[in-house]
Amino acid sequence: MTEVGVGLWAMQSSATRPAPYPALYREFVDAAVLADELDFHAVWLAEHRLWYDGYCPALLHAQAAVAARTSRVRLGQAMLVAPQHDAHGLAANARTLNELSAGRLEFGLGLGHRDTEFDALGLRRDRRGRMFEEMLDELESVGARIWLGGMATPTLDRAARRGHSLMLPQTLYTNELQPLLEEYRSLGGAGTIGIMRDTWIESDPASAERARARIRAHYLEEAGAWWVLKGTVGFENPEQLERQLGRMDRASLIGQPEAIAEQLRADIAAGVEVFALRLSYDFTSPAELAEQLHRLAEQVVPLLRDAA
C-alpha cells in the first residue's frame, strides 16, 4: 500500500519570509494537526544547524509537541544528521518520542554533508561513515523503523546489511529509480522505499510557473550558499549550480492534480512505497500551506488508490 506523507518543515526565518521562531513552531504544530485530520501518513522534518535562518536543529523536540496534539500521523525525519549527535542521548530522546506517540516514530537518519557543521562541533566529516556505523548499534535499540537517507553505494550497502529502509532524495528522476533499487535489492536490501518530492498543486499554468520560480529561488539560496558541488560551494561553481537547479526543477511535481498523480504513479511503478511530498518551504504562508494540504488530500491522493 502506498503511503503519502508531507513535509519538509525546517522552521526557517529567512529573507524570503522572516518570522518569530515561536510562531514558526506553532505553525508547524497546527499544520501537523491538519495533516493528521486529512489522514496523511506522516509529517517529515529536516535538520541542519549554523545557518542564518535558524534551520531546525532539534527535530525530535519539535515533533514531541505534535505527538501531544495528534493521534495517527507518523513523525518522520528526512533527515536527522546522526553523526552530529551523541548516540546515547539521541537514542534516549528518540525512544521517549516513540513511547509518547504510541510508536509513531519514523526514524530518518542521514550522514550530513556540510563541513561547517562538523567543524563547529569538533567532528571530522571524513569519519562520519565510521561514526554512523558505531552509532547505529545503539540507535537500532529505539525500536522504530529506521530510514537511511542517500543513494550512494555505501548507503545502499549499509541499509541492506542492517535491514533498514531507504529515503531517496528529490533530485532523482523516475527512470533512475529502477537501477538504484535493483542495486539495493542485490545487496540483500528488503526495507521500504521512500522518496521526497518537491510538490505544488496549481491548475492555472501561470500560477504554476510562479510557484516553480519561488521553489527555484528557495533552492538557489540554499544550494548556492552551502551545497558542495564538484568540490566547491555552489555560488563558486555557477555552471554546476545551474545544472543542479535544473535537475531539481525537472524532478519536481508542479501543476495540475492529474499530472502530479501520473508522475507519482510512475514512481510507484518503479518501486516507491512511501512519499514525503514537500509543500512547506521558507516562503509558504500558513494559509497557502493549508490550501496545498487540502488540494493534495482531496485532488491527488484519491487518484493513487488503484496504483500498485
What residue has cell string 518569530?
Answer: 20
- What is the CATH classification number for the domain harbouring 269? 3.20.20.30
pTM over 0.75, yes/no: yes
| pLDDT tens by residue, 117-174 | 999 999 998 999 999 999 999 999 999 999 999 999 999 999 999 999 999 999 999 9
| pLDDT tens by residue, 1-17 | 899 999 999 999 998 89
Give the cell for residue 134. 558505531
pLDDT at 232: 80
Element at 109 (helix H, strand E): strand 105-110
The reply to whether 237 falls in a domain is: no
φ and ψ at 137, to 5 degrees? Answer: -55, -40
pLDDT at 268: 98
Q: Are 22 and 62 in contact (CB under 8 A)?
A: no
- Omega within 30 of 0 (cis) for the link into 248: no
How many other C-beta atoms can be found within 10 angstroms of the C-beta atom of residue 190?
Answer: 11
Of the pLDDT bands very low, low, confident and very high (cuts 50, 70, 90), residue 308 is low
Q: Are 43 and 293 in contact (CB under 8 A)?
A: no
The reply to whether 226 falls in a domain is: no
Please give the residue range of the domain that contains residue 126.
3-204+254-304
The reply to whether 247 falls in a domain is: no
- Alpha carbon distance 60, 52 (integer Å): 21
The reply to whether 235 falls in a domain is: no
**The CA-based dihedral angle spanning residues 245, 248, 251, 255, taken in that order and rounded to the nearest 10 degrees:** -80
| pLDDT tens by residue, 184-215 | 999 999 999 999 999 999 999 999 999 999 99
- Alpha carbon distance 283, 278 (integer Å): 12
Element at 110 (helix H, strand E): strand 105-110
DSSP string of 229-268, one letter each residue: ETTEEGGG-HHHHHHHHHHHHHHSEEE-HHHHHHHHHHHH
The reply to whether 230 falls in a domain is: no
- Domain total for the chain? 1
The reply to whether 245 falls in a domain is: no
The reply to whether 291 falls in a domain is: yes
The reply to whether 185 falls in a domain is: yes
Angle at 95 between CA 152 and CA 42, to 5 degrees: 60
- Alpha carbon distance 105, 258 (integer Å): 31
